[in-house]
Structure 1
Amino acid sequence: MARILFFTPYPAGRAPSQRFRFEQYLSLLAAHGHQYRLAPFWSVATWNILYQPGHTAAKILGLLSGFGRRLGLLLAVPAYDFVFIHREAAPVGPPIFEWLIAKGLSKRIVYDFDDAIWMQDPAGEQGLLGRLKWPQKVGAICRWAYKVSCGNAYLADYARQFNAHTMVNPTTLDTDLLHNRVRDQAPAGPPVIGWTGTHTTLRHLDLVWPVLERLEREGQAFVFHVISNAPPAHMGLRSLRYSPWRKQSEIADLLQFNFGLMPLVDDPWARGKCAFKALQYMALGMPALVSPVGMNTEVVQDGTNGFVCATDEEWYQSLRRLLASPPERVRQGAAARRTIVEHYSVASNTANFLSLFQ
C-alpha cells in the first residue's frame, strides 16, 4: 500500500476543485490501505482574506509563509511513495518544487488539474500578477509527472503532448452522501431558474440576460436565482434573486432551483471547463441547460437530460419548454440524475481514481 503526500493550494474543505476532485476520495484511499497527508500552500487565515480587497501586507506574509512551508515539506517528501500535486505546488513562480520532487528526489508525481491553467483566465489576474503565475510551467510539470490526471478530454489532449501516461479523471459528485436528494418539481410558486458559480464566471451570464429579459417582458412567471460569492452587476431583470454561496447550506440552496443554467462563452479557457455546474444540477434531479462548449456536450444529451443551447432562440425555446411543463422537468431530471450516478459519481469513478496510484 502507498503513502501519498498531497500538495494542495488551499486548506481542506474550502475549495470546490479540491473537494470534488480528490478530497471526497480520501476515506476510500484509507479503506484500501493507503496513507495520506494533505499539505496546503495557503493557511486558513490567509485563505479567509485571499479574495477580499485590501489586506495586502497579510497576503504577502501569507505568500511568504506558504513558500516557507513548502521548503520545509521537501524534507518530508522522501518518506512518501507518491506526491499528488493539484494544479501547482506554489501559486507564483517557476516549477522549482515540482522539479526538485521529480528530478532531485526521484519521486512519482501524480499531477492533477481541472482548468486550462496553461493559459491566463480572462476573468483572472492580469498584468504582472498574471505573468508571475507562470502558466507555461504546466507543460513542464506534465513532462516530469509519473501520471497526469485531467478533468476532461480537452485538458488531456494538451497534457498528452508532454506525457503519454495521461488519463481523464472527471470531477465527480458523491451521490450517496452529499448530492443525494432530488428536486421536487411539483408546482409551488413560480419556477426557479438557477445558476451557481464564482465571481470569475459571472461573465458567462451575459449570454442569457437578453433571453431572460425577453421572457420577463412576455409575462412569463419565474425567478432567476444566482448563488455566488459576489452578486451579478446586471440590474435589468426584476425576477433576479441573489444569495451568497455557503458551504453549510450548499445542497439546500441548490434544491431551490427547478433547473439550472451553464452558459459559456466559447473561448480557449472555457473549453477546459469540466461541466461542474451542470453536474451539480443534474445530480439533484434537475435538467441542465448548457452552451455547446467544452465538456458540456458530453454530459448533456439535448432533450433527454437537459438542453444544449447555441443561440438566443435555442435558449429561449428551451427555457419556455421547461417553464411550462413540470412533467418535462421531472422526466429530464430523472434522466439527469441517472447520468451522474452512472458516469460522474464517486462510486462510478473510484477504480479510475485509485488507478492513479498503481
Structure 2
Amino acid sequence: MDKSFKILFVPNGGRIAPATRYRIYQYLPFLDEAGIKYKVYSAICDNTTVRMVGSSALTGLRKNMYYARVFFERLIRFFRIFYLAGIFDVVFLQRTTFPLGLEKLLRKRNKNIIFDIDDSIYMPDKEERGLTGRIKKYIKKEEVVSALKVSKCVIVENNHIRSFAAGFCANIHIITGPIDTVKNFPRQASGKNDTVIIGWIGSPSTTVYLDMLKGILVELSEKYDIKLNLVGAGKYSIPGVRVENVGWSEAIEVGELHKFDIGVMPMPDNEWTRGKVGCKMLQYMVNAIPAVVSYTPTNAEIIHDGANGFLAYDKKDWINKISILIENLQLRKGMGLKGRQVVEERYSVIANAGTFIKILKDTISS
C-alpha cells in the first residue's frame, strides 16, 4: 500500500455519537492493518456532541442557542477541514454537512469525497415547531443534497436511503451497521432467574417510541414476573411495571445488554423510521438476545419473523410474541443464536471491512 494513501474522516460528532463509533472508529484497526493512514476530525467538538446527543430535551431559547452554537462551530471548523482536505487523499464525511453550501468549496480542494449517510437526516424533525422548524425543514434537506452532489461515492445504511440518494449520486454502496462481533459476544442464558428481563437500549430522544409499549408491558406484568431494563433512557417509568434505568457508557454497554432475556425495539412505520436500521436491533442480535421489533420494510430485511427474531405488527402481536419468548427459554436461546449468526455473516465489521477498504481505494483510483 502506498504510504501517501491517507483518509480524512469528518464525522458529524465526536466519538460519543453512535454513528461516529459504528461507521468510523470500528474500522480503524482494519485500516491500521492495511497500512492506511488516517485522521479523525469532527465537525463539532466533544462538548457540543454531548449537547447534540441530549438536544431533544432542550426547548425554547436554549434550543435556539444550541442550534446557533452548532451552526457557528461547523462554520469555524470547516476552515480547518478545508486545509486538511488538501493533504489527504480522501475526505470521508460521516453525516457531515456544512452551512452555506461550503461542500462545493471543499470539492475544489479535494475531489475524492465520500458521503456516508446512515439515517433519514434529510427528513424534517417532527418535534420541531414554529419558525425554527420551518427553517430546519428547508436547510436540512438542502445541505444533505449538496453533500450528495459533490460526492464521488456515497455509502448508505439501507435500500430506503439508497432510493433517495440515487437522485443525486450514481455511485452508491450499502453497508448496514456494522457491528463488532468481538466486543459483543453471545450472552449466557442460565435460566436460573425466574424474573424475565425485557430490555431496551437507546437515548432519551428515542424514549418516545417506548410509549408504544406502555399498555403492552402493563398487561404482561399482570401475567408474568418481568422487569424492564432501560439503558440510556434517562429517567423513564411506567406505572405498574418494574423499571430499572441505567445510564449509558461505552464501558458498560455489553455487560448491561447481557442482562437482557428479550430485547425490544418499538417504532412506527413511516418515512423517517424506514430510513433507519435500528442499531439496537443489531445489538440484541449480535449478543444472542432474541429481538422483538416493530414491523417496517427495513426491519423485515434483517429479521425473518419467527426464525432469527420476531416482527410485531400490532398490540396483539407484541403481547403474543413477547409471551412466547417469556414462556420458552429454549426458544430464546435458539432464536438468539440464529440472530447472532445473521450478524456475523452480513452485518459484522469483519464481514464488511474488506468492502469498506475497497471503496476507499476505488474512490482514489476512479
Give the TM-score taking structure 2 as reference length: 0.89
C-alpha displacement of 1:226: 1.5
Work out whether 1:112 is the aligned partner of 2:126.
no
Normalized per residue, which structure has more helix?
Answer: 2
Segments of structure 2 that go 5 or more residues without pairing to the other structure are: none
Aligned pairs, number: 349
- In 2, the alpha carbon distance for the partners of 1:80 and 1:242 equals 44
Q: Which residue of 1 aligns with 2:226?
A: 222
Which residue matches 1:275? 278
Amino acid in structure 1 at the alignment position of 2:315: D
Note the residue ranges of structure 1 that are not aligned, 5 or more in a row: none
- For the residues of structure 2 that align with 1:115 and 1:62, how far apart are their CA atoms? 19
Q: What letter is aligned with 1:81? A: D
In the TM superposition, what is the alpha-carbon distance from 1:49 to its structure 2 partner?
4.2
Match of 2:205, as an amino acid? Answer: T
Q: Render the CA deviation track for 1:70-120: whole Å, top value 9, x for unaligned.
A: 213312211111110011234xx3431x11122x22421100011111111
Aligned residue type for 1:87: R
- The aligned counterpart of 2:301 is 298
Native 8 Å contact 2:9 2:24 kept in 1: no
**Is the contact made by 2:228 and 2:241 (CA closer than 8 Å) also made in structure 1?**
no
Report the 3-state secondary structure (helix = DSSP H, G, I; strand = E; otherwise coil) of the residue aligned with 1:42.
coil
Q: Scaled by the length of structure 1, what TM-score is found?
A: 0.91
- My pick for the range that moved more, 108-117 or 239-248, is 239-248
Deviates more, 1:46-55 or 1:206-215: 46-55
Q: Percent identity?
A: 26
2:148 is aligned with 1:142: yes
Does the 8 A contact of 1:301 with 1:307 survive in 2? Answer: yes
Q: Is the 8 A contact 2:295 2:311 kept in 1?
A: yes
State how far apart, in whole Å, the 1-side matches of 2:306 and 2:66 are.
50
* Alignment equivalent of 2:12, drawn from 9, 18, 27: 9
1:179 equivalent in structure 2:
184
Q: Aligned partners of 2:63 and 2:168: how far apart in 1?
A: 39
Residue 30 of structure 2: which of 20, 24, 28 is its match?
A: 28
Secondary structure of 1:110's aligned partner? strand
Q: Distance in 2 between matches of 1:55 and 1:199?
A: 16
Paired residues of 2:23 and 2:94 also in contact (CA < 8 A): no
How far, CA to CA, are the matches of 1:280 and 1:221 in structure 2?
Answer: 24
CA distance in 1, matches of 2:321, 2:65: 49
Q: What SS class does the counterpart of residue 92 from structure 2 fall into?
A: strand
Kept in 1: contact 2:261–2:289 (CA 8 A): yes
Q: Distance in 2 between matches of 1:61 and 1:205?
A: 30
Report the residue type matching 2:148 in the other structure. C
Matched letter for residue 348 of structure 1? A
What amino acid is the match of 1:164? A
After superposition, what is the alpha-carbon deviation per residue over 1:301-323, rounded to whole angstroms, capped at 9, x for unaligned? 11111111101111111011000
**Do the aligned partners of residues 29 and 356 (structure 1) sit closer, same or farther apart at CA in structure 2, a change above 3 Å counting?**
same
Q: Distance in 2 between matches of 1:127 and 1:5?
A: 37
Once the 2 structures are TM-superposed, how far is the Cα of residue 69 of structure 1 from its aligned partner? Answer: 2.3
CA offsets per residue over residues 283-311 of structure 1, 9 Å max, x none?
01111101111421111111111111101
Alpha-carbon distance change, 58 to 88 in structure 1, aligned in 2, over 3 angstroms: closer
Give the AA of the match of 1:15.
A
* RMSD, aligned CA: 2.1
Q: Does 2:348 correspond to 1:342?
A: no
When residues 182 and 146 of structure 1 are mapped into structure 2, their CA distance, relative to the original with a 3 A threshold, is: same
Matched letter for residue 219 of structure 2: R
Paired residue secondary structure (1:225): strand
1:73 alignment partner in structure 2: 81
Q: Alpha-carbon deviation of 1:129?
A: 4.1
**CA offsets 1:253-310 (integer angstroms, 9 cap, x no match):** 1111011011111121111111211100010111110111142111111111111110
Q: Residue 185 of structure 1 contacts residue 326 of structure 1 at CA under 8 Å; is this kept in 2?
A: no
Q: Is the 8 A contact 1:285 1:333 kept in 2?
A: yes
1:264 is matched with 267
